Amino acid sequence: MKALLAEYAVFHDPHLAPEGAAMLGVLRQSFERCGYEVISPEGADFRDEIRRIAPECDFGLVIAPDHLLSGFTAVIERLTHNLGCGSMNVAVCANKRQTARILAGNGIPVPEEVEHGARVIKPVTGCGSIGVRLDGGHAGEGEFGQRFIEGEHLSVSLVGSRVVGDACLYYSGKPPLVLALNHQEISIDSAGRFSYQGGTTPVDHERSDEIIEVAKKAVNILGCQGYTGVDIVLADRPYVVDVNPRITTSIVGIAACMREEIADILVRASKGDAPESVHFNCRARYDSSGRVFFE
């Protein structure tokens, strides 16, 4: 059995390359332990490399910045069995402004969009904390502003199940598998710029049921399958500030502590057969480059 693991940043985005290499390394090792031969694009044209490799693989998974992910995923979907979120759902989540409006319209707490006061300005299409800043001025072209909420930075890592039949995707009817609740280390410098420093996983929290329930609802509303990270600021309620329908840096800490193989979970979930729960042996901290430190 062959698995295509296509990580964009390693060869095409120096800023995100260390993080991308860490995520790819974790996935590669897990798939190899599960008996798969892993193939990854290495050529200059990422899309053409996917087109070349995918037909000979049994499964495919793309990791890329959100604004590029949908197009690359669509190629995977045409040529092999996609282990990630569907391309149409990825396209919705890539527009952060539209995602917030969809969630708010379905009763999910999100920071409201405002034009004045303490605001978080962020790109409409962005990746991680790049371009995100605390700013009372005007949002620029391709940006929008949301009310700044001071609270605890957390994320929930989930895997959504689906089944495939008659060339279409169907929900399996199973709720998304919760892998872990993670603490996020977010710093704000003197210029108001946000910076993601990594996190800790898994974490216990007195409000974990409330946090996880909101994350699961957000994933269901947006139709996310496969590995998904839901970023939350916890204040008077859990506010969803971002939904990432792809592998996130949290995987390096989760895979280091989890008894189950992440490769097996992703394959099973793509067939509508994700496990009911996972188990952890320890807790770990991971930095933004994907280095893991056990606690």
What pLDDT does residue 166 have?
A: 43
| CB contact set of 20 (below 8 Å; sequence gap of 6+) | 7, 8, 9, 10, 13, 63
The CB-side HSE value for 199 (13 A sphere, CA atoms) comes to 24
Q: Do residues 76 and 4 make contact, with C-beta atoms less than 8 angstroms apart?
A: yes
Q: Which two tokens stand for residue 68?
A: 């590029």
Distance CA 169, CA 284 (A): 35
User: Per-domain residue ranges for the chain?
Assistant: 2-294
Q: Identify which of 36, 85, 111 has the alpha carbon closest to the alpha carbon of residue 223.
A: 85
**104: nearest Cα among 275, 243, 271:** 243
Is beta strand 284-287 parallel, antiparallel or unpaired with respect to 177-188?
unpaired
Q: Are 217 and 102 in contact (CB under 8 A)?
A: no
CB atoms under 10 Å from CB of 117, counted, come to: 9
Model pLDDT, residue 163: 59
| Record: fold of 2-294 | D-amino Acid Aminotransferase; Chain A, domain 1 (3.30.470)
* Count of residues in the chain: 295
Low-confidence ranges of the chain (pLDDT < 50): 165-171
Angle at 275 between CA 159 and CA 89, to 5 degrees: 25
Longest CA span, the chain:
55
| pLDDT one-digit tens code per residue, 27-80 | 999 999 999 999 999 878 999 999 999 999 999 999 999 899 999 999 999 999
Angle (CA) 161-268-210 rounded to 5° is: 40
- Per-residue confidence (pLDDT) for residue 104, from 0 to 100: 98
In this structure, what token pair is assigned to residue 106? 């379905």
Question: Vertex 290, ends 155 and 203: CA angle to 5°?
Answer: 35
Q: String of b and e for 32-67 (b: at least 16 CB within 10 Å)? A: eeeebebbbbeeeebeebbeebbeebebbbbbbbbb
The long-range contacts involving 16-22, CB below 8 angstroms and separated by at least 24 positions, are 16/65, 16/127, 16/128, 18/289, 18/290, 19/249, 19/288, 19/289, 19/290, 20/63, 21/290, 22/249, 22/252, 22/289, 22/290, 22/291
Residue for token pair 């609270």: 151
Please state the pTM of the whole predicted model: 0.94
pLDDT at 167: 44
